[in-house]
Amino acid sequence: MWWENAVFYEIYIPSFADSDGDGIGDIEGIRSRLSYLKAVGIDAIWLTPFYPSPKVDNGYDVSDYCAVDPQYGSLEQLMRLIEDAHQLEIKIIIDVVFNHTSTNHPWFIEAASSKESLKRDWYIWRDSPNNWESFFGGSAWSFDEITKQYYYHSFAKEQADLNWQNKEVKQAVLQVIQFWLELGVDGFRFDVINNLTVNDQFSDNPIGEDGRQIHRYDVNQSGIMETLKELNEWIKEQNPEVFTVAEISSDNLSLINSYTDEAHFDTAFHFNLGSMKHLDLQNLQKLTKEFQEMSKQNKIPTLFFNSHDMSRSWNRLANNDYSLYQLFAVFVLINRGISFLFQGEEQGAADYEAQSFEDIRDIQAKNKYREMLLSMSEEQALLEANQVNRDRSRGMIAWNNDQDAGWIGIGPRNPEADHILTLYKQLIQLRKEEGPFQTINMIKLQEACLSYQTENLHIILNFGKRKVQHPLQVKMSTLFGRGTLSTDGNLVQVPPKACWIGKEHL
Ligand code: NOJ
């Protein structure tokens, strides 16, 4: 399938490229950058939500699934974008947010209008709440003054969860998917698809030793797999080439596998790399071994260090160090798996940091700030909020050095941006020439040096401060990087914080 070795590129629309100078990225901005993306070498774009939305959660609170928010452009412009991308042989997948709708969605407005509403059961209502907590903090239940019941929202109170037990909801979702398939999209990223409420037990969640709630009864519920399998089978009946990826916010391999095995998604995001808080080589090795295990079972992992939900790898993992950053680029591109890059990553974009509460746009960070303010100073609360602030990776892309801020500040441009861009282009090119990478073997971590083999390439990533000597079992030549082969070819020396890719002579 086309997606098996693809390099995807996530576009967080409001921060990507602004074509009309209103400080908000838009569809035409993306269209104007298509040739740039082609030159980078990407195969597919993942568009984050562009639907009409009150933007409490920046578009993940959808109020119309079959339209484009006027801030971003029009449906016609989106169709033209899809057409132009296809001309360049770039596929487009879109984010679909079916766990919840905005409370401004006509479905919810109708459901909330009366207990007798025909759409009442499209959402989840109870006379009294249980202890479930929202993933953005606070109770997951909000009281509706008009009908005197609580509705469930696993995220913000403006994001009401749909009731996936209701057959009409499933039907309505299929219609939305049909709509986008007819417009030519090539796949879907299913947002928090493990949160679907598919049973009605509503048992209280247990509390862990650290005092935090364990989300036992509100995610990954029995029944979810059957529901999603039906959905995926229906999609493949429409067109087997359509790609589906599940977002389940997990780094648990067996859980990730269950969403492909049982729910029939093509793949599910593996969050290990994304949730790594700092460079952790043991963890990187463990993950590489998981990729190996998946490959043996014919499953294709996802590879990503960055997205709109986490601090950028430039700060988080590479600690602002180009030498380290390049090693991550190699890992994400010259490896077994589907690569997902996040806008700006290919230029080494850095985190944007809010300087005050007024700067914060992310609802999760706002909530954290308010909570912290109850027990600490404004300055400390800001520090705490910035620890979880998803705005960090959402700064406007700095296409040049004198770009103005927009709806959010600018993600600082990397002084080495051009250099990093060249590196990404080279690696993507190499991925195309040497791939597809179907296997991964010989995974080894020695001190700070991770090495592995994919097909006939040997990759050595030396994260350490000392040069390493790596014995070679077979004859190889240097394909990429800074290793020096010994004259007898039995050894390669890789300098500190450098990589080497060798190609086996077959
Ligand atoms: C996951 C998305 O990536 C995130 O940005 C959003 O806030 C939640 N799902 C809720 O839709």
Tell me how far the alpha carbon of residue 197 lies from the centroid of ligand 1, in angstroms.
Answer: 16
97 Cα nearest atom in ligand 1: 11
The pLDDT score that the predictor gives to residue 199 is: 82
- Using CA positions, which residue lies closest to atom 10 of ligand 1? 60
Which residue bears the tokens 């890719």? 501
Question: Alpha carbon 165 to chain centroid distance?
Answer: 27
pTM over 0.95: yes
Decide: residue 187, CB within 10 A, 0-12 exposed, 13-18 middle, 19+ buried.
buried
Tell me how far the alpha carbon of residue 136 lies from the centroid of ligand 1, in angstroms.
Answer: 10
The pLDDT score that the predictor gives to residue 167 is: 96
The pLDDT score that the predictor gives to residue 486 is: 94
- Pocket of ligand 1, candidates 50, 60, 102: which has the most ligand atoms within 8 Å of its Cβ, to mutate? 60
Tell me how far the alpha carbon of residue 186 lies from the centroid of ligand 1, in angstroms.
Answer: 21
Please state, in angstroms and rounded to a whole number, the distance separating the CA atoms of residues 45 and 11: 7
- Pocket of ligand 1, candidates 155, 275, 394: which has the most ligand atoms within 8 Å of its Cβ, to mutate? 155
158 lines ligand 1 (CB under 6 A): no
The pLDDT score that the predictor gives to residue 224 is: 94
End-to-end CA distance of the chain: 27
Active-site residues: which are they? 191, 247
Tell me how far the alpha carbon of residue 505 lies from the centroid of ligand 1, in angstroms.
Answer: 46
- Using CA positions, which residue lies closest to atom 4 of ligand 1? 309
Question: Alpha carbon 82 to chain centroid distance?
Answer: 21
Please state, in angstroms and rounded to a whole number, the distance separating the CA atoms of residues 298 and 294: 6
60 lines ligand 1 (CB under 6 A): yes
Tell me how far the alpha carbon of residue 14 lies from the centroid of ligand 1, in angstroms.
Answer: 15
Order of strands, sheet of 243-246, starting from the edge strand that comes earlier in the sequence: 267-268, 243-246, 187-190, 91-96, 44-47, 7-11, 338-342, 302-303
95 lines ligand 1 (CB under 6 A): no
The pLDDT score that the predictor gives to residue 505 is: 84
- CB distance 426 to 460 below 8 Å: no
Walk along the chain (506 residues) and give the pLDDT tens digit of each residue. Answer: 999 999 999 999 999 999 999 999 999 999 999 999 999 999 999 999 999 999 999 999 999 999 999 999 999 999 999 999 999 999 999 999 999 999 999 999 999 999 999 999 999 999 999 999 999 999 999 999 999 999 999 999 999 999 999 999 999 999 999 999 999 999 999 999 999 987 888 999 999 999 999 999 999 998 999 999 999 999 999 999 999 999 999 999 999 999 999 999 999 999 888 889 999 999 999 999 999 999 999 999 999 999 999 999 999 999 999 999 999 999 999 999 999 999 999 999 999 999 999 999 999 999 999 999 999 999 999 999 999 999 999 999 999 888 889 999 999 999 999 999 999 999 999 999 999 999 999 999 999 999 999 999 999 999 999 999 999 989 999 999 999 999 998 999 999 999 999 999 87
Which residue bears the tokens 């990478």? 437
351 lines ligand 1 (CB under 6 A): no
